Every structure is written in C-alpha cells, then in structure tokens.
Amino acid sequence: PSTDPAIKTLRQRQMRNMLCTLLLSAGTPMLLMGDEVHRSQGGNNNCWCQNNPLGWMHWQPDDDGLALKLFVQRLLRLRQQLLPWLDPERPT
C-alpha cells in the first residue's frame, strides 16, 4: 500500500479502466468477491490458509472502496442498457 496521492490516483484510475473493459465487453463478466471494493489482500494472491485480516473480507469498505462500488453499480446499469448491442457472436 502506498500513501502517495499520485500513486493512489493512478491505481484507482487503472481499476476503473479494467472494470470498464470487463463490464462493457461482450460475454459474461467474472468478478471475484471483493473486486468491486478493491479488496487486494495486501498483494497476496494465495492467502486461503491465513486466518487473519489479510484473508478476511471487510464488509464495510473504506471511502475509496465505496466509491469504486458505486462506480461498478453505474457500470452494471449501463451494461444492462447496452446488453442488446453486446452480441457475443460478433467479433470484437
């Protein structure tokens, strides 16, 4: 984790960019629990055996997580509106 505002801003923008790509593309989007609130597990991609806060899901997201969750909700509404145009048979 970084406290540098420039790094935090860049990371948040990258998360939004990837969520746009995922949710506005044809096909079925796959999100892992917590992706919508930027649950990172401290960078650990395999913490299944750790019974500590690193592997726990924090159900009350911080302000950044809440902002990302609201962004995902808006994207999902947009996806529902665009779904008739997202033909999975058409090459992208």
Per-residue pLDDT tens digits for 3-43: 899 999 999 999 999 999 999 988 889 998 888 888 888 77
Q: What is the CA radius of gyration of the chain?
A: 15
Residues 23, 74: contact at Cβ < 8 Å? no
39-72 pLDDT, tens per residue?
888 778 788 788 888 888 878 888 888 999 999 9
Q: pTM of this prediction?
A: 0.79
Give me the residue spans of the domains in the chain. Answer: 60-86
Whole-number Å distance between alpha carbons of 15 and 35:
9
